[in-house]
Structure 1
Amino acid sequence: MKQVLDDLCDYRRYCWNQGLALWNDMYDASLVLGDKKLRPSARKVRDKLVANKEDWQYQLSARCLQLAISDLGKAWQNFFKKSLPDWGKPKFKSKKTVRQGFKTDRAQIVNGKLRLDKPQGIKAWADISLKGADDLKGELKVVSIYRENGKYWASLPFEVKATKKTKTGQKTDVDVNVGHFDYPEGQVKTLPNNLKTLYKRIKHYQRLLARKRVVNGKKATQANNYVKTRAKLQRDYRKVANIQHDIVQKFTTYASQ
């Protein structure tokens, strides 16, 4: 199953790069000929890529290609909005990027497990166990699967119908301190002990990497010890992000009750 997930990550990158190359050609042609009707769109690019599919592509999910081109179309729309902070032309994706992934809109939650659509010709296929699956409610939308440092992660967005809130007449005051949030109903710590430990470890790894770059220059990034240390640093960054996200979610949940 891991091999199939790896193949889908590579296929998503392949579809993006193929679509971007075709999009650039169509866009340049419309400018040269001065014909707005020749300008590319997600539908035009997708249809052309589907029409020119190779045999090996039929073994992988067709939704992977279509969702990749859909995201490419959104990225091109953002290119014309210069007010966005990450404004710029869509770029080609590299296989050297630490995070690789793909998307699917055919995933389901079955008996508390995540079920992805099974590729053609694959026999060994299983559902993925989830922690706290009983608390998941709503309609599952487009699922993002990504690989980072040899591990796989899944982003599961659910669409939940909003319920009307009744006004209680009560007010919530927030006192922001360095280590915690105080509000009438309680307190949420913003700097727990495990977060302090991670900050110290991140600082240590950053110093190690900086020292290696000073001593060995550009060759440092090719050393096995450098790669292992960088992977540990990225792992701790991910843990910090998860802890901070959990803190914010708990605070907003408790404060709004």
Structure 2
Amino acid sequence: MPIKTRIYRIKPNRTMKQVLDSLCDYRRFSWNLGLETWQDMYEARQLALTPHLKAELKKAKNKQNLTDIEKEILASNPVPSWRKIRDELTENKQHWQAKYPAHVFNLAIQDLGNAWQNFFDKAQPDWGKPKFKSKKAIRQGFKMDQAKIKDGYLFLEKPRAVKEKWTGFKLSSSPLSEEFGTISFYKEKNRYYVAIPFKLPELPNKAKTNQVTGVDVNVGHFNYQGGQCLVLPKKLEHAYEKIKHYQRLLARKREVNGRKEAATSRKYLKTRAKLQGAYRRATNIQNDLLQKFTTKLTDNYDSIVIEDLDVKKMLMNHVASKGMHRSMFGKFRQILSYKCEWYGKELILANKLYPSTQRCAVCGLVKKGDDKITLKGNKKHGTKHNEFVCYNPDCPNYNQKVDRDENAMMNLTLLVKHPELNKAL
């Protein structure tokens, strides 16, 4: 069943703001308490396991060969899991926690368990050890699975401590479906949002066009069969110039009498609000560009080929790391992946070692050694980084300058009809 998540901005009143803020704090408290308990349980088990017991556990496929004392040690120091953490913390709940919905606490501990599972899978995009949540983080939020939608209004479960009239949030557009999953609320830059994952019936596949394309992603623009998509337009560059300007102003306003202190003046807060607005505008522009471009691709092409880029390693290069980050390679792949799945389109990932940039799309000659094109071009032949020149005398493009990105896009498109080329050459 496809799931479409729609984000709405909500405008709560004073009472609802207090409720939402308190639930964000309770979610953060539950996560931090669960993480601390998880670490304590893990350390206690490691201390209880003697070298002899560890060796016996590796040998024995079950616990039948262990002594009663060893079984008792393992039983009193179990392997931590989100259910065991939840049960232990539920037994030791404090009286003030009774005024908060229990499912907010349960969802926080369940997400903590998922975070530990992802820690052992390095293929995850946000791989890493779970960390404690900070109240100074820009985004605060919580999850809830007991909300209801009625007549275009979203109603939360009313906490016991609230005695005032309980109202709902009006949604800016009609719901996509009556069925939806766990709702996520979050607060960012003094604005409140809600993300609702609607469960939809099977989406109809888009009409077949019998067209294929490769998409060569570059800093500032993406090349495809229909032309070029600019992902760093002038309006986005203007937004980043504003961000740069306001950051400089805030850096000067933080210094009080020659010391860097936390500024609380009205001018500082006003400038910070302008900086947050500039960041928000840049994010909206980027999201709008990627959504429209990916929709255009799925409308016009049946098969789409993109490169399987290791974005994290590419960001280590200081030459173009900022441009790569702003071009949002990873988000483009994420959006295109689920849209192709929705509408029955084929998405092909090119091998990481496939030489789309070094291969001639006409004759198939692959540049090697000193003939390779780098970020600085080619010193041997004196060509620029965006120029591709084939040195095969039998090639129609022999000794002619071709746009490197167009040549790479054509090489990616070839993988649709010739999948045997999708490998390191």
The TM tier, using the shorter chain, reads: 0.7 to 0.9
The match for 1:144 among 156, 161, 184 is 184
Matched, 1:91 2:131: yes
- Quick one: distance in 1 between partners of 2:89 and 2:153? 33
Post-superposition shift, 1:207? 2.3
TM-score by length of 2: 0.53
Report how far residue 160 of structure 1 moved: 2.5
1:129-167 deviation digits (Å, cap 9, x = unpaired): 122225x23632111111123221112222333335366
More displaced 10-residue stretch of structure 1: 155-164 or 189-198: 189-198
Normalising by structure 1, we get a TM-score of 0.83
Partner of residue 79 from structure 1, selected from 105, 114, 119: 119
Any stretches of 5+ residues in structure 2 without a counterpart?
Answer: 1-15, 50-73, 300-425
Correspondence for 1:24 among 27, 39, 52: 39
Structure 2 distance, partners of 1:82, 1:194, is: 37
- Structure 1 residues 158, 187: CA separation in 2 closer, same or farther (over 3 Å shift)? farther
Q: Which residue identity is paired with 2:171?
A: L
Matched residue SS, 1:153: strand
Q: Could you tell me whether the CA contact under 8 Å between 1:114 and 1:129 is conserved in 2? A: yes
Paired residue for 1:127, among 168, 187, 200? 168
Query: Aligned-pair distance for 1:211?
Result: 4.0
1:12 to 1, 16, 27: 27
> What does the per-residue CA deviation read over 1:225-249, in whole Å, with 9 as the maximum and x for residues that have no partner?
4454334323322332222112212
Q: Secondary structure at the match of 2:260?
A: helix
* Number of the residue aligned with 2:241: 200
Unaligned 5+ segments in structure 1 are none
8 A Cα contact 2:107 2:143, kept in partner? yes
Greater relative contact order (Cα < 8 A, sep 6+) = 2
Distance 1:139 1:93 in 2: 31
Is residue 2:94 matched to residue 1:54?
yes
Alignment: residue pair count: 255
Is contact 2:154-2:169 (8 Å) kept? yes
Give distance in 1, aligned partners of 2:150 and 2:135: 32
Code of the residue aligned with 1:132 in structure 2: it is S
Of all paired residues, the percent bearing the same amino acid is: 49
For 2:160 and 2:145, how far apart are their aligned partners in 1?
17
Residue deviations 1:35-57, cap 9 Å, x none?
49612100001111111222221
Q: 1:59 to 1:215 in 2, by over 3 A?
A: closer
The structure with the largest alpha-carbon Rg is 2
Range moving further from structure 2, 119-128 or 7-16? 119-128
Contact 2:254 2:263 in 1 (8 A): no
Question: Quick check: 2:253–2:263 contact (8 Å CA) kept in 1?
Answer: no
